[in-house]
Structure 1
Amino acid sequence: MSAPATTRNQAESPSGPADPSLPTNLRRNAALVPTDTAAGRSLAAVIAILTFLAGLCAGAAEIVATNAGQWQGDVAQEVTIQVRPGPGRDVDADVARAETIAKSEPGIAEARVFSKAEAERLLEPWLGSGLDLSDLPVPRLIALKLADSRSADLKRLRTRLTEALPGVASLDDHALWLQRLSTAANAFVGIGVGMVILVLVATGLAVTFATRGAMAGNREVVEVLHFVGADDDYIARAFQRRFFGLGLRGGAIGAGLAILAFAVAGLLARAARSGPAGQEVEALFGAFQVGLRGYASVILIGVIASLVTGVVSRITVRRFLS
């Protein structure tokens, strides 16, 4: 025997008004799946925290990738000639000759010769200041700025330097350093992506347990819905809407907090950049700038978190009902 259509329609409406003809103790004024409960608020808070952490990981990976790309671009536009002093040789003459050879090559936009005092100051971070290095054979450096890395024939320049100044001049194109920088940056970005994936997996697990708890707490309601003819898809959609709303709320809060954290950190970094310490930090780690792509990735994580919440809740309900 099936229930009347009006009773079925009222039961299938999660937020519809209760039938006034029913006794007070049989009326259900709440939604099919309550949205404002302690468990729901706790789940939204967990999703917000996880989204916040995932957003921080994604933003940090974006900062590293951006700065690494800028460093690689800057370093790729410069090469260095090292002129080593030798017994019986005039190092200033060797430096001048190496500079002349470099300037004659196409694609070299600028050549800057480091004086002996400047070369010695480059050793202070390792040897300390106040040392007398006048008796040491400190190599002289020539920094070359490339107009276009594709037009400069560094192989020919290296050959000419070796032929003109054998055992004295050498060319360093920083290829090994660039390779190590690229490897380190890719590893950091990979770790960031892995952390984001782990956070999303943790979000799915939290939603799974919360959905099972909600199903257990609403077992009687589910049985009544089955009795009046509601199918599993309808019940799954009801729970999916509820948990998608919680995920959307938590994802929006977490993503918003992550964006706010990056914005505040960027303002503090720009304020500290005016001092010498801030300039040293920027020179070492690069500018603290997330960029539009970083903010978009944080927002995307919030959206993905809400979608994961809805999909996982639906799958969990279907498995529970089956």
Structure 2
Amino acid sequence: MNEMSHPQAPQAAAARRTQMRVRPTAPILPPSNIQGNALIVVIAIMAFLACLTLGAVTMVRATAASWQSQISREITIQIKPADGLNMDEALQKAKDLALGFVGTKEGTILDDAATARLLEPWLGAGLDLDELPVPRLVVVTIDEQNPPDFAEMRELLALELPQAFLDDHRTWVDRLVSMARTTVLIGTGVLVLVFTAMVLTVVFATRGVISGNRHIVEVLHFVGAESAFVAREFQKHFLKISLKGSAAGSAVAALLFAVLGLWQSNARATPESDQATALFGTFSLGFEGYLGIMVTMIMIALLTTLTARFTVMRTIDEIDLIRSDPARSDGLPAS
């Protein structure tokens, strides 16, 4: 009996051919093994350290910028006590002289209570300022965009009030800027070290996977499979591994910063929170910080994938080199 006697035979044959064409192929590498799981853990640790470093650098930069802004908004006029000097009149005169310059907004004379609070951490409570030659301060708020002429203000104060000293806090601002730059450089160095360690780990892991599946690579390569095809299969494998590891490490780092920020916001005005704020600033990263963590996660995944691809391509070139040398392919040293 031929296919003409059965009208459904051609349709059945076409269906079988279609099924054969669309049948999915199994992956060259196993989806999960001990080496892959270990590499996921290593990449997760590297991603966590990288995101932790990035978040710390972001916090320090934000804190330094906040301190710099606060310091640069104010200047301080310090008046030292002297014989025959009426301190109250001198403070008021210094305030009026400072506010007479373009670029100043308002001035505040620190009274005895405020001055005593400033000295309390060093001299204790209940301080009597009349018994000590304590300098008094005038705090002047300035326009950051259009600051006054500090040199001219110093000259006028020295002429009118020899006991007055103007501090524009430029020394502190320069130190904060230097500290922020140093922190960024240190953080960048740590990130480079983390990425370098991760690349070396991926190189060794890729070579280990290739060594375990070298016969598969050789068979595919020498039956006609292109190097790009074999490298692409390994690239897909390591992309999945790197995405799992980097996502896990980045998520843990982001969760850590979120938990610390929540704790800090709920524990305000406590000694622990005040000390943490003084040392590290606020733990809130903001949108830019979390965006940086996401970018770091993507960079780690891409870097791992590209490293795996280049390692596979280089290994295939080594296989070709060995096969082209009969002495080396027979296990003998090349002459």
- Normalised to the residue count of structure 2, the TM-score between the two structures is 0.83
Question: Secondary structure at 1:79's aligned position in 2?
Answer: strand
CA deviation vs aligned residue, 1:111-152 (integer Å, no higher than 9, x gap): 110123422332222333455553221000000111344242
1:241 aligned to which of 205, 226, 236 = 236
Percent sequence identity is 41
Q: Distance in 2 between matches of 1:47 and 1:221?
A: 26
Aligned partner (choices 304, 308, 312) of residue 309 of structure 1: 304
Alignment of 1:297 onto 2:308: no
Q: Is the 8 A contact 1:77 1:149 kept in 2?
A: no
Q: Secondary structure of 2:106's match?
A: strand
Q: Deviations over 1:64-85 (max 9, x none)?
A: 1111111111111100000111
Once residues 213 and 233 of structure 1 are traced to their aligned partners in structure 2, the CA distance between those partners, rounded to angstroms, is 19
The partner residue of 1:111 within 107, 112, 123 is: 107
Is the alpha carbon distance of 1:285 and 1:220 closer, same or farther for their aligned partners in structure 2, counting shifts above 3 Å? closer
**Distance in 2, Cα, partners of 1:132 & 1:99:** 24
Give the match for residue 92 of structure 2: 96
The equivalent residue for 2:124 is 128
Query: Of 202, 226, 233, which aligns to 1:231?
Result: 226
Summarize the Cα distance change of 1:292–1:31 in structure 2 as closer, same or farther, 3 Å threshold.
same
User: How far, CA to CA, are the matches of 1:63 and 1:152 in structure 2?
Assistant: 31
Aligned letter for 1:204?
A: V
Aligned pairs, number: 296
Does the CA contact (< 8 Å) of 2:210 and 2:312 recur in 1?
Answer: yes
Q: Are the aligned partners of 1:48 and 1:251 in contact in 2 as well (CA < 8 Å)?
A: yes
Asked whether the equivalents of residues 76 and 149 of structure 1 are also in contact (C-alpha less than 8 Å), the reply is no
* 1:65-214 paired onto structure 2 within 5 Å: 65-130=61-126, 132-166=128-162, 168-214=163-209
CA shift, 1:201, in A, is 0.9
- Per-residue deviation at 1:175? 0.4
- The alpha-carbon distance between structure 1 residues 284 and 141, as it changes in their structure 2 partners (threshold 3 A), is farther
Could you tell me how far apart the structure 2 residues matched to 1:282 and 1:256 are? 24
Structure 1: which amino acid aligns with 2:309? Answer: R
Q: Distance between the aligned counterparts of 1:99 and 1:175, measured in 2? A: 20
Distance 2:313 2:144 in 1: 61
Runs of 5+ unmatched residues, structure 1: 1-12, 18-29
Shift of 1:35: 2.1
User: Which one has a bigger Cα radius of gyration?
Assistant: 2
The 1-side partners of 2:279 and 2:155 are apart by 33
Cα deviation for residue 174 of structure 1 reads: 0.4
Q: Distance in 1 between matches of 2:151 and 2:49?
A: 47
**2:216 match:** 221
Matched letter for residue 35 of structure 1: P
Cα displacement string for residues 86-122 of structure 1 (whole angstroms, at most 9, x for unaligned residues): 1222222211211111122222211110123422332
Partner of 2:45: 49
**Pairing partner for 1:270 from 265, 269, 279:** 265
User: 1:3 maps to which residue?
Assistant: none
In the aligned structure 2, how far is the partner of 1:285 from the partner of 1:210? 37
In structure 1, give the amino acid aligned to 2:173: L
Counterparts in 2 of 1:308 and 1:283: CA distance versus 1, 3 Å:
closer
1-side partners of 2:309 and 2:280: how far apart? 44
Q: Distance in 1 between matches of 2:114 and 2:253?
A: 44
Look up the SS of the partner of 1:134 in the other structure. helix
Letter in 2 for 1:33: L
**Which residue of structure 2 lines up, in the alignment, with residue 286 of structure 1?**
281
Give the letter aligned to residue 137 of structure 1: P
Secondary structure at 1:145's aligned position in 2? strand
After TM superposition, give the deviation of residue 155 of structure 1 in Å.
2.2
Q: Is the 8 A contact 2:75 2:140 kept in 1?
A: yes
**In structure 2, what residue type is equivalent to 1:106?**
V
Which residue identity is paired with 1:118?
A
Contact 2:250 2:297 in 1 (8 A): yes
